[in-house]
Structure 1
Amino acid sequence: MVNTEDFIKRLEIILDYYSLNASGFADKIGVQRSSLSHLLSGRNKPSLDFILKILDVFPDVDLYWILNGKGSFPKNNEPIQNQEKKLDEVIKPNAPTPIQESIAPQNLFSEEKNQDDKNSFVSKNKNIQNAVNESISGEVEKIVFFYKNGTFKVFTPN
């Protein structure tokens, strides 16, 4: 029999690993959001169909690990004893790490840093425009840069 509390902990590890919230996870595996909510709250127990959907969508999840904590997540070839030790470390709450002075600059908004970033950005864009102009015989209408934060910039060559 699957221990529901431990199953929920392992399910939360999967959510953290894939950076998903409960509703996104439910949508991804094709179950109702309320089903996942009831499962995470401990009201319901996981069905075989639910577990199979997880395994189908997330191939890094090991069946024995999700059911009883034996095995590994994500799947790999390490011996099971090493994996269980690592799982215990993952489940234990981590203490916050102190900020090192050498990593964080004193003034993030200094004019010197911003000017260096701006010059670097302009230089990179000129290099990209030159490369595009050399490699394509036709005229370039525009160049669009998409950033990970969801923003974008459009450049039109002169």
Structure 2
Amino acid sequence: MVNTEKFAERLQKVMDFYGESASSFAEKIGVQRSSISHILSGRNKPSLEFVLKILSSFPEVELYWLLNGKGTFPAESEPNVNIDTSQDPIQNSAVNKKMVPANPQEKIIERIVIFYSDGSFENFQN
């Protein structure tokens, strides 16, 4: 069971980390301002929907940390993967080759789409 008082402290820590007021935080996660106030005061317990909205809006928040204080905040990020673009990635990748699974019932990759932050994308098909 979630300790409501400790949850409220962790919620306040998240809001402070992002520099959000209760109103702006509520707006970002899509809940009423009163929901934040009631949880911070200990009047209400957080619902599953409330917790999921926080996780969806703030991916640096780990579920186990938010619920029971175990883990880290902010979440440790995945290491960045550097892609060597000096060569044609299609010519040197398994995407350009038919992938034959060891088991005939396994799924085969047919298409990979890479979306870039500028809105462009690349489509790779077998």
Give me the whole-angstrom Cα distance separating, in 2, the residues matched to 1:2 and 1:28. 23
* TM-score (normalised: structure 1): 0.48
Give me the whole-angstrom Cα distance separating, in 1, the residues matched to 2:28 and 2:76. 23
Q: What percent identity do the matched residue pairs reach? A: 66
Q: Which residue does 1:53 correspond to in 2?
A: 53
Give me the whole-angstrom Cα distance separating, in 2, the residues matched to 1:27 and 1:74. 21
Find the structure with the greater CA-based Rg: 1
- In structure 1, runs of 5+ residues without a counterpart are 78-158
What displacement does 1:48 show? 0.2
Q: Say whether 1:69 aligns with 2:69.
A: yes
- In structure 2, runs of 5+ residues without a counterpart are 78-126
* TM-score (normalised: structure 2): 0.60
**What root-mean-square deviation, in Å, do the aligned CA atoms of Structure 1 and Structure 2 show?**
0.9
Give me the whole-angstrom Cα distance separating, in 2, the residues matched to 1:23 and 1:72. 25
What displacement does 1:6 show? 0.4
Q: 1:97-121: per-residue Cα shift (whole Å, max 9, x none)?
A: xxxxxxxxxxxxxxxxxxxxxxxxx
What displacement does 1:35 show? 1.2
Higher helix share: 1
RCO comparison, higher one (Cα < 8 Å, 6+): 2
Give me the whole-angstrom Cα distance separating, in 1, the residues matched to 2:39 and 2:69. 17
Give me the whole-angstrom Cα distance separating, in 2, the residues matched to 1:7 and 1:69. 8
Report the AA paired with residue 75 of structure 1.
A
Report the AA paired with residue 54 of structure 2.
I
